């Protein structure tokens, strides 16, 4: 499966991102007299995917070449930080040119500290991307679709925080706007164009130098451009969560949230959701050169195709090990369980990935690996197996 990375469009066209240590790959920045530092980078991967449309039968395979040049700019002005980046991702399918894609990503962020008690952060992001055949709105229809579905997303978000970092208590107010519009396959995508307004507040209290307790309330209003033939999908989702965050200690770092989610549809035809949700991530480093990452989460989300909502539960574990200053490896396993409300469907997905990285130079990293996916479902055409193998290079200039 080929997917768009939200950060760099980063060669996720082959379905796997490489996990790197901080001291493995160093990209030199180009300093200018204006104070802006520019960081150019190029990623390239050549891989083989034996099921490019995530199909349950009559699978198509292809070699794929994915290229992603990117440029990042950064300006540090005292306590204020300004960043922006642009990248282009191209994918060339040797056996299926209709699946070729050219995606674009751009973002800009500003972190501004007015004084020790008042600070805010604001960011904007634009993506012109695609969904591979058999994913997203074409889930289960990969063989019937000729080309990937294409879309544009706009995302603006920010927060204001009150409270000095030297004091234990801080209050954060958050707001965000998101819009997604598909640009082809109107008969398939027109009922999936939507926008959302999210806002909320969070209270942080530091219990120790590296540990803080969090309590937050967030709300998201989702509105679709057109009414789905199965009924209006507009909804309001409210999350009430408490948890804790802790920065790196001798062995661990991580965060967790647990709370209650309430999803109410505007239409009485659809079934509302209320229940416990959570998300947690813990990094355990028994050795300075070896890290185990555990994560889990549960939430109700809007479906890509059918049903009222999807109750999704995720679990993953990964191990990253530096065998030397030049060679490292990573291995991971993830599992998802999705129960569909309003549709007779349950999905289970298992994924396994393995990667090896070799630092040829400080700014030149070689990588090779595999990404295996097994998806089962009570709906026959949703099931699929996929095996991806690849070699790649990441270069800084």
Instruction: Say if residues 192 and 182 touch (Cβ distance below 8 Å).
Output: yes
> Do the Cβ atoms of 163 and 137 come closer than 8 Å?
no
Q: Residues 246, 248, 249, CA angle at the centre, nearest 5°?
A: 95
Percentage of the chain beyond pLDDT 70 is: 94
Higher per-residue confidence, 3 vs 141: 141
Query: Tens of pLDDT along 17-36?
Result: 344 443 467 777 888 888 89
Q: Among 23-37, 190-204, 345-359, where is mean pLDDT lowest?
A: 23-37
Dist CA 184 CA 191 (whole Å): 12
Quick one: pLDDT at residue 31? 85
- Name the DSSP class of 323: S
Provide the residue ranges of all domains of the chain, joining segments of one domain with +.
12-250+362-396
Res 32: pLDDT: 87
What does the DSSP 8-state code read for residue 18?
A: P
Q: How far apart are CA 65 and CA 47, in angstroms?
A: 7
Residue 173, beta-bridge partner list? 160, 201
Q: How far apart are CA 356 and CA 326, in angstroms?
A: 11
Could you report the per-residue pLDDT of 217-226, keeping only the tens digit for each? 999 999 999 9
Q: What is the pLDDT of residue 24?
A: 61
SS3 label, residue 186: helix
Q: Which tens digits make up the pLDDT trace of 360-385?
A: 988 899 999 999 999 999 999 999 99
Q: How far is CA 187 from CA 136, 151, 192, 232, 340, in A?
A: 14, 14, 10, 17, 23
**Predicted confidence (pLDDT) per residue in 269-326, tens digit:** 999 999 999 999 999 999 989 999 999 999 999 999 889 999 999 999 999 999 999 9
pLDDT at 76 over 50: yes
Query: pLDDT tens digit string along 240-261?
Result: 999 999 987 768 899 999 999 9
pLDDT value at residue 377? 97
The pLDDT of 67-76, averaged and rounded, is 96
pLDDT for 11:
34
Sequence-distant (≥ 6) Cβ neighbours of residue 56 within 8 angstroms: 140, 380, 381, 382, 383, 384
Position 59 pLDDT exceeds 60: yes
Write down the pLDDT at residue 48.
98
Nearest to 372 by CA among 347, 351, 349: 351
**CA proximity to 197, closest of 169, 163, 235, 171:** 235
Domain boundaries 12-250+362-396, CATH class: mainly beta
For 268: left if phi > 0, alpha if psi spans -120 to 50, otherwise beta; the answer is: alpha
| Residue 119: burial class (beta carbons within 10 Å; 0-12, 13-18, 19+) | buried
Closest CA to 225 of 270, 177, 272, 180: 180
Supply the pLDDT for residue 34.
86
Q: Where are the beta strands (DSSP E) in the chain?
A: 30-31, 36-49, 62-77, 80-93, 101-115, 118-131, 149-162, 169-182, 194-206, 211-224, 235-246, 252-265, 273-287, 290-301, 309-322, 327-341, 346-361, 364-377, 384-396
pLDDT band at 4 (very low <50, low <70, confident <90, very high): very low
């Amino acid at each position: 499966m080929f997917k768009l990375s939200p950060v760099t469009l980063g060669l996720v066209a082959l379905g796997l991102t490489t996990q790197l240590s901080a001291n493995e790959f160093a990209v030199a920045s180009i300093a200018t007299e204006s104070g802006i530092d520019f960081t150019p980078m190029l990623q390239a991967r050549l891989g083989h995917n034996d099921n490019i449309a995530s199909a349950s039968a009559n699978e198509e395979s292809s070699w794929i070449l994915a290229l992603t040049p990117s440029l990042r700019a950064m300006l540090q002005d005292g306590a204020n930080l300004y960043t922006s980046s642009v990248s282009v991702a191209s994918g060339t399918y040797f056996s299926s040119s209709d699946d070729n894609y050219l995606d674009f990503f751009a973002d800009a962020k500003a972190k501004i500290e007015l004084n020790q008690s008042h600070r805010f952060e604001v960011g904007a992001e634009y993506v012109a991307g695609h969904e591979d055949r058999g994913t997203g709105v074409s889930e289960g229809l990969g063989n019937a679709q000729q080309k990937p579905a294409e879309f544009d997303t706009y995302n603006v978000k920010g927060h204001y925080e009150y409270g000095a970092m030297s004091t234990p208590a801080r209050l954060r107010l958050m707001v965000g706007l998101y819009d997604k519009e598909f640009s082809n396959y109107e008969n398939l995508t027109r009922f999936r164009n939507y926008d959302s307004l999210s806002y909320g507040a969070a209270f942080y209290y530091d219990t120790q130098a590296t540990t803080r307790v969090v309590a937050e309330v967030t709300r998201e209003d989702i509105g679709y451009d057109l009414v789905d033939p199965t009924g209006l999908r507009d909804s309001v989702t409210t999350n009430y969560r408490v948890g804790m965050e802790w920065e790196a200690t001798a062995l661990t770092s991580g965060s967790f949230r647990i709370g209650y989610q309430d999803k109410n549809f505007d239409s009485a035809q659809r079934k509302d959701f209320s229940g416990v949700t959570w998300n947690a991530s813990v990094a355990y480093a028994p050795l300075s050169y070896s890290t185990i990452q555990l994560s889990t989460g549960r939430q109700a989300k809007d479906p890509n195709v059918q049903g009222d909502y999807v109750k999704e539960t995720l679990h993953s574990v990964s191990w990253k090990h530096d065998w030397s200053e030049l060679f490292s490896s990573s291995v991971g396993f993830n599992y998802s369980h999705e129960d569909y409300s309003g549709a007779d469907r349950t999905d289970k997905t298992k994924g396994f990935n393995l990667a090896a990285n070799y630092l040829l130079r400080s700014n030149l990293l070689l990588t090779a690996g595999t990404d295996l996916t097994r998806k089962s479902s009570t709906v026959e055409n949703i099931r699929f197996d996929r095996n991806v193998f690849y070699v790649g290079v990441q270069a800084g200039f």
